[in-house]
Structure 1
C-alpha cells in the first residue's frame, strides 16, 4: 500500500497547497495522506491551514491527522486559558513569537496591536502574559482566552480535539515527535508522542516498525534506518516536505516527482 506523509506545516498554507498538488500528481485524489501534526503557530495562516485540512476531510479524502504539540497548546489555550506547557524547558509562553501563538491568533483577526507584554520569571520561572492589545483594548489572559474561544470557529476547535496520537501499519508508525524506545505502543504516553527528543533521537535500535515523525527540525528529510524525520522547518520559512512510503521504500516528492530517500551511513 502507498502512504504519503506531510511534515510540520506550522501555518504555511501556500506550502501545504503545493505539497497537496505534488501528492495528487503522484498518487491521485484518492491518495492516503498522514499529516504529522503541528498545523498551527509560527507561520502566517494557521486558520487557512485548518480550513484546507477540514475541507479535505469533509470531502471524503483519505486523510489521517495526527496531534502535534503546537496543536495541543492552541487547544488548551482555547479550552482552559493555558499558555505554558511543562515540556517547554525555557518556560516560554505560547504567545512568545518563538512558539507562535501570537501569529496563530493573528490569522483569526486577533493580531496584537503591539507585541504582547510578558511578566518574566513569574509563577516559578514561567513566562506569563501580562497584557495583549487588540486595537485600543488591552486584554488580560482570561479575557483573551474568552474572546479567542468565541472567535475561533467551533469546527476548528472540534478538529483539534479529534486529532490522533499515532497511525500504525504493519511496517510503519507515524507519530508527531517519536516514541519512548522499548515501550509497547499501547503504553506510550501522549507527552512523549508529541514532545519527545531525548532518548529517541539518539536511539538506533529497531523499533519493530519504521517510525515516521516530525517535531525536530532537520535541514533536509532524513532516513536514519529506524526512523524517518520529515520536519524540514516550514514554520521558519523553509520547505514543507511530502514523502511517499511503499513497503520499505521511501521517496521525497519534488517538482520533478519522486526522489529516493535512502538510509544514511
Structure 2
C-alpha cells in the first residue's frame, strides 16, 4: 500500500529529532501555553507506555498507516499518562514528548500516577522517592544515566540529589504542568478514571490519578465516555457504555494500544503481543470468562484482567 501524507498543503511542519508525526495535520508553533487548543476532527488515545519507546514508535507507525487510508483530518494524539517507569526508555519518552508538546498542541501528554510520583520525588519528598523507586522509578533514573550502584544503596537525601541533577529542572517543570484531563466530542480522557457522582470540575486529582474499583465497578452514566489507562487489561481493551480502558500492560506484554475516535465512532489499534506474553495471558482465561459473564451494559466484548 502506498504511503500517503495527509498534511494540508497550506500548513507547514518540521521534523523534530525524527520523532514528529508528520501526519497529524498539526500547525506547529502552537504549544501548550495556548488557552484554547486548536480544534481537531480525529483523536488517537494511547495507553500506558511505561518506558517502552520501541512500542510507542511502532504504534505511531500503525497510526500513520491508519491515517493513510482514512480521509484527511486534523488529528490529535493523546498519551493517557504513565509514559515513565518499568521499561528501559523513560528518558527518551519524556524528552521526545517534551519537545513535541512545546511545538504542537496536536500532541498531548496527560499526567499519570507515575508522573506524579516522579514529580513529587524530585521535588524532595524522600518517602515518595523510596516508594517510586520500588514501582519502576529505578528504571527511569537508569535511563537518565544515574549510576546503578547508587540505586542499590540505602535511599538518602544524597541519592535524591543525584537523581534531581540527572533528570534536570526542565523535566521536573514539564511534569508539574501536565494536564489531568482532556475533553473531546463526548469523551473524557484521564489517566485512572473519575469518582462516580461527582461533577467533572469537582473531581480530586487523587481520584483522577489513582482510582480503581469505585470507578471500574460503577455502571452509571457519567455524561461522558471516560477513556482511561492505569488498570491493566492484558486480554485487550475494556469497552463499556460508560468507559473504555486502554492500558494493555505494554511494558510486560508488548501490546500497546491506541483508541481512535472520530464523529462518535471508535476503533482499536495495537502492537502485537510479545511471544512470552501468551503463557502469562493463558493464566487469566478463566477470569476473563467469569468477568464477561457478569458484565453488563458493554457495547462490545469485554475482557477484564489485572490491576496494578
Please tell me the TM-score bracket, short chain as reference: 0.7 to 0.9
Q: Greater CA deviation, 171-180 or 150-159? A: 150-159
Equivalent in 131, 137, 140 of residue 101 of structure 1: 137
1:24 lines up with 2:68 in the alignment: no
Q: Which runs of 5+ in 1 are unaligned?
A: 86-91, 118-130, 132-139
Q: How many residues align?
A: 232
Verify the 8 A CA contact 2:42 2:74 in the aligned structure 1: no
Contact 2:255 2:271 in 1 (8 A): no
Distance in structure 1 (CA, Å) of the matches to 2:86 and 2:197:
33
Shift in CA distance, 47/170, structure 1 to aligned 2, threshold 3 Å? same
SS at match of 1:157: helix
Given that residues 81 and 142 in structure 1 are in contact (C-alpha distance below 8 angstroms), is that contact kept between their aligned partners in structure 2? no
Q: TM-score, normalised by structure 1?
A: 0.80
Larger relative CO (CA 8 A, sep 6+): 1 or 2?
A: 1
Equivalent positions of 1:151-230 (< 5 A) are: 151-219=166-234, 220-230=236-246
Q: Secondary structure at the match of 2:259?
A: strand
SS of the equivalent of 1:56 reads helix
Select the residue among 49, 55, 62 that pairs with 1:15: 55
Contact 1:214 1:230 in 2 (8 A): yes
Secondary structure in 2 matching 1:80: coil
Contact 1:73 / 1:83 at 8 angstroms: preserved in 2? no
Maintained 8 Å contact 2:260/2:267? yes
More helix by share: 2
CA deviation vs aligned residue, 1:119-150 (integer Å, no higher than 9, x gap) = xxxxxxxxxxxx1xxxxxxxx42011111111
Residue range with higher mean Cα deviation, 19-28 or 32-41: 19-28
Find the aligned partners of 1:106 and 1:83 in 2 and give their Cα distance.
20
- 1:128 is aligned to none
Structure 2 match to 1:239: 255
Residues 41 and 111 of structure 1: CA distance in aligned 2, closer, same or farther (over 3 Å) = farther
Structure 2 unmatched ranges of 5 or more: 1-40, 273-297, 303-308
Query: Is 2:59–2:271's contact at 8 Å kept on the other side of the alignment?
Result: no
CA distance in 1, matches of 2:270, 2:212: 28
Per-residue deviation, residues 155-178 of structure 1 (Å, max 9, x unmatched): 322221111010013410000000
TM-score by length of 2: 0.70
CA shift at 1:25, angstroms?
2.7
Report what 2:3 is aligned to.
none
1:69-119: per-residue Cα shift (whole Å, max 9, x none)? 00010111111233439xxxxxx82212xx1011111101114228735xx
